[in-house]
């Protein structure tokens, strides 16, 4: 079967699909990880630890066929639902003597995924409706399954933007969707800062310390920003979906090399809050609240308590000396990002 | 024959992960069992560290330590300490142990630096981590799309 192989922070992943369109989609989505064609590869000691197989289906099976009755609804956000099947329930069905790990099911109405954590395998069923928004298929549906598998391998997701300041400090911008992460990241990039991610990071640990690195992908920029900031039109544009355009942010801001880094401390954490005021301003933020928001924005933070404990410990270590701010974010970012960026460096204003 | 009474030792919950964020002024407990998230002020941090380190494991000893550390009168210290212990107990963060078994982290015993002005110990709870949310950069967009018609 056609397949690609790539490595994210040392964890090898293969993605296979009969559909050439799906292979092209994921080759493009993971372009910063230089995926290689592995269709004809034979298994080796370096075989990928994680596998994602995608299968096209004209329509999804009925939910009762898709989700076993022993699985429990675990989370529901909009059209996204996630079920978990506990080890005992699986083993009771298959083999009472066996100890089987958790299995998860995602149903997104237009696509569905089953994730077997122990084997590191996920199978995704993809309908033509899902292919109408291919970037969402890759960036949300399939990514959920992959992030779950990566978590089981101690690579933890953090939903935050990361930008390196002119003073070489790492700033994280944290917040839920539509909090302004990408706008702020792009604005700071135009102001001479070096953005390495507009919304996703991975947290891990090696023999030296805990680290944090960008999950390298396109930046998803709101279309209005291209009108506001004409210079942004020089960025390589790749896809468009709804009111967003995917741009090669790492190329545009010349941060591809920097995005390979493992950052070992967070210098600043920013929580943006959009306000109707003439100028943006910073307020101090309790570090306890900043850490809470980071944990809230970590996908699957609640899954597997030993991982939760580990992730919490690493996050605390990374943010041990971080300064935390609430950014009351005004329209001045749209009017003049270079000027607005001075809110972060008042002494140089 | 004289009966020997055993004073129960107050023990902190093992799954309560404590982080001190700013020296003596801001702390967090993440209860890894239920993912309740607590923010502590200076006096609360002081008492928790006394408990966790095994330095003081009874209400009387805790109150005495609090009074000495913050230079407050003994009655106020006792009142506030007992109220705080009730709150910890109500949240399942401590329990009484008669066999003296305790989670003890001696490293927490040291209390360096200056303490801020006294305010009664506070434990502020957030439940926002208890729910799994599926967040991703395109989640809003998927909601906008809805499912197949």
Structural domains in chain A plus CATH codes:
3-153 (no CATH), 157-348 (3.40.50)
| N-to-C CA span, chain B | 83
Set of chain B residues whose Cβ sits within 8 Å of the Cβ of A216: none
B109 within domain boundaries: yes
> Which pLDDT band holds residue B144 (cuts at 50, 70, 90)?
very low
- Quick check: is B24 in a domain? yes
Per-residue confidence (pLDDT) for residue B139, from 0 to 100: 45
pLDDT given at position A240: 87
pLDDT tens-digit readout, A196-237: 999 999 999 999 999 999 999 999 999 999 999 999 999 999
Domain presence at residue B98: yes
Are A199 and A140 a contacting pair, CB within 8 Å? no
**Residue B110 pLDDT:** 58
The reported pLDDT for the residue numbered B1 is 56
Are A199 and A179 a contacting pair, CB within 8 Å? no
User: Which 3-state string (H, E, C) describes A23-35?
Assistant: HHHHHHHCHHHCC
Contact between B141 and A242 using a beta-carbon 8 Å cutoff? yes
CB nearest B144 (choices: A242, A289, A291): A242
pLDDT at B142: 39
Residue B3 lies in a domain: no
Q: Which of B42, B128, B133 to mutate to test the interface with A (most CBs of A within 10 A)?
A: B133
Alpha carbon B122 to its chain's center: 9
Residue A188 has pLDDT above 80, yes or no: yes
Cβ-Cβ contacts under 8 Å between A and B: the total is 125
Query: Which range has the worst mean pLDDT, A36-40, A253-257, B15-19, B61-65?
Result: A36-40
Which pLDDT score, from 0 to 100, does residue B140 have?
39
Element (H, E) at A274: strand A268-274
Q: What is the ipTM of this complex?
A: 0.85
Q: How many helices (H) and strands (E) does chain A have?
A: 13, 21
- Give the model's pLDDT for residue A95: 46
> Confidence class of residue A241 from pLDDT cuts 50, 70 and 90?
confident
Within a domain: B99:
yes
- H-type helices in chain B, by residue range? 42-53, 59-70, 74-90, 139-145
Q: What digits encode the pLDDT tens for the residues A273-290? A: 989 998 999 999 999 999
| Chain B residues with a Cβ under 8 Å from any Cβ in chain A | 15, 17, 19, 21-22, 26-28, 30, 32-33, 35, 37, 39, 126, 128-148
Mean pLDDT of A68-73: 90
Per-residue pLDDT at A180? 85
pLDDT score for A41: 58
pLDDT over 90 percentage in chain B? 60
Structure confidence at residue A183 (pLDDT): 93
Mean pLDDT in residue range A104-131: 95
Give the DSSP letter string of A299-314. Answer: TTTTSSHHHHHHHHHH
Chain B interface test: which of A177, A197, A240, A311 (most B C-beta within 10 Å): A177
Give me the mean pLDDT over the A305-314 stretch: 94
pTM: 0.89
Of A253, A273, A301, the residue nearest A178 (C-alpha): A273
Averaged over A142-151, what is the pLDDT? 95
B5 falls in which pLDDT band (50, 70, 90)? low
Q: How far is B99 from chain A (nearest CA, A)?
A: 28
To the nearest whole angstrom, how far is the Cα of A57 from the nearest Cα of chain B?
Answer: 14
Per-residue pLDDT, B107: 61
Domain with B86, as residue range(s), is 9-145
B52 within some domain: yes
CB contact at 8 A, A251 and A163: no
Q: How far is A245 from chain B (nearest CA, A)?
A: 12
**Mean pLDDT for chain A overall:** 90
Note the pLDDT of residue B76. 97
Q: Is residue B1 in some structural domain?
A: no
A82, A295, A305 member nearest B134 (Cβ) = A82
In chain A, residues with a C-beta closer than 8 Å to the C-beta of B137 are 139-140, 159, 177, 198-200, 220
Answer whether A50's CB lies under 8 Å from A146's CB. yes
Q: Which residue has the higher pLDDT, A26 or A41?
A: A26
pLDDT at A151 over 70: yes
Helix (H, G, I), strand (E, B) or coil at A277: coil
Nearest to B138 among A139, A308, A313 (CB): A139
* Residues of chain A contacting B142 with CB distance shorter than 8 Å: 78-80, 108, 136, 140-141
| Residue B23: band (very low, low, confident or very high) from pLDDT cuts 50, 70, 90 | low
Task: For residue A243, give the chain B residue with the closest CA.
Answer: B141
Q: What's the structural domain count of chain B?
A: 1
Q: What integer is the mean pLDDT of B116-120?
A: 95
DSSP string covering A250-276, please?
Answer: HHHTT-TTGGG--B----EEEEEEE--
Tens of pLDDT, residues A88-109: 655 444 444 444 458 999 999 9
At residue B72, the pLDDT reads 97
Query: What integer pLDDT is reported at residue A348 of this predicted model?
Result: 44
pLDDT average, residue stretch B100-116:
64
Q: Nearest by CB to A177, which of B33, B129, B139? A: B139
Q: pLDDT digit string (tens) for B63-95?
A: 999 999 999 999 999 999 999 999 999 999 999
Q: Per-residue pLDDT averaged across A241-270, rounded?
A: 96
Residue A40's pLDDT band (boundaries 50, 70, 90)?
low
B2 found inside a domain? no
Q: Which strands form A11-17's sheet, in the order they lie side by side?
A: A36-37, A3-8, A11-17, A50-56, A121-126, A111-116, A103-107, A80-85, A72-77
pLDDT at B137: 44
Mean pLDDT of B39-65: 95
Q: What is the pLDDT of residues A159-173, one digit of tens each?
A: 999 999 999 999 999
Does A301 sit within 8 Å of B141, measured CB to CB? no
Calculate how close chain B gets to A44, using CA atoms only, in Å.
34
Q: What single DSSP character describes residue B6?
A: -
Distance from CA of A208 to the nearest CA of B (A): 21
- Preferred mutation among A312, A317, A324 to probe B, highest tally of B CBs within 10 A: A312
Among chain B residues, the shortest Cα distance to A287 is held by B21
């Amino acid at each position: 079967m056609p397949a690609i192989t790539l490595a994210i922070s040392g964890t090898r992943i293969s993605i296979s699909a009969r559909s050439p369109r799906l292979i092209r989609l994921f080759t493009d989505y993971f372009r910063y990880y230089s995926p290689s064609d592995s269709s004809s590869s034979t298994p080796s000691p370096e075989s990928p630890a994680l596998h994602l197989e995608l299968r096209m289906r004209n329509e999804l099976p009925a939910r009762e066929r898709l989700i076993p009755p022993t699985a429990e609804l675990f989370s529901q956000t909009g059209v996204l639902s996630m079920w978990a099947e506990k080890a005992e329930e699986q083993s009771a069905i298959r083999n009472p003597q066996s100890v089987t790990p958790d299995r998860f099911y995602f149903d997104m109405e237009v696509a569905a995924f089953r994730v077997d954590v122990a084997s590191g395998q996920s199978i995704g069923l993809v309908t033509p409706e899902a292919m109408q928004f291919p970037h969402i298929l890759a960036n949300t549906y399939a990514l959920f399954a992959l992030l779950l598998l990566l978590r089981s391998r101690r690579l933890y997701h953090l939903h935050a933007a990361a930008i390196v300041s002119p003073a070489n400090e790492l700033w994280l911008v944290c917040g839920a969707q539509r909090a302004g992460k990408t706008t702020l990241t792009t604005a700071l990039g135009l102001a001479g800062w070096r953005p390495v991610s507009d919304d996703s990071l991975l947290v891990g640990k090696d023999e030296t310390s805990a680290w944090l690195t960008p999950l390298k992908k396109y930046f998803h920029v709101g279309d209005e920003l291209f009108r506001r900031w004409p210079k942004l039109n020089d960025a390589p544009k790749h896809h468009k979906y709804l009111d967003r355009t995917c741009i090669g942010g790492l190329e545009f801001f010349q941060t591809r090399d920097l995005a390979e880094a493992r950052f070992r401390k967070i210098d600043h954490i920013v929580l943006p809050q959009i306000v109707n005021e003439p100028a943006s301003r910073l307020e101090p933020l309790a570090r306890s609240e900043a850490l809470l928001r980071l944990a809230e924005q970590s996908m699957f933070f609640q899954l597997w308590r030993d991982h939760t404990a580990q992730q919490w410990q690493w996050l605390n270590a990374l943010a041990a000396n971080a300064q935390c701010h609430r950014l009351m974010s005004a329209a001045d970012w749209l009017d003049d990002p270079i000027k607005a960026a001075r809110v972060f460096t008042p002494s140089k204003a | 024959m004289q009966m020997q009474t055993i004073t129960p030792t107050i023990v902190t919950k093992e799954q309560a992960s404590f982080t001190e964020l700013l020296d003596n002024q801001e702390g967090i407990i993440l209860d890894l069992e239920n993912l309740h998230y607590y923010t502590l002020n200076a006096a609360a941090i002081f008492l928790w560290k006394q408990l966790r380190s095994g330095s003081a494991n009874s209400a009387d000893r805790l109150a005495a330590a609090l009074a000495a550390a913050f230079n407050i009168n003994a009655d106020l210290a006792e009142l506030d300490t007992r109220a705080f212990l009730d709150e910890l107990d109500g949240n399942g963060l401590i329990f009484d142990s008669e066999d003296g078994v305790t989670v003890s982290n001696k490293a927490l015993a040291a209390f360096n630096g200056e303490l801020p002005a006294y305010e009664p110990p506070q434990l502020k709870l957030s439940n926002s981590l208890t729910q799994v949310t599926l967040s991703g950069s395109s989640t809003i967009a998927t909601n906008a799309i809805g499912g197949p018609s």
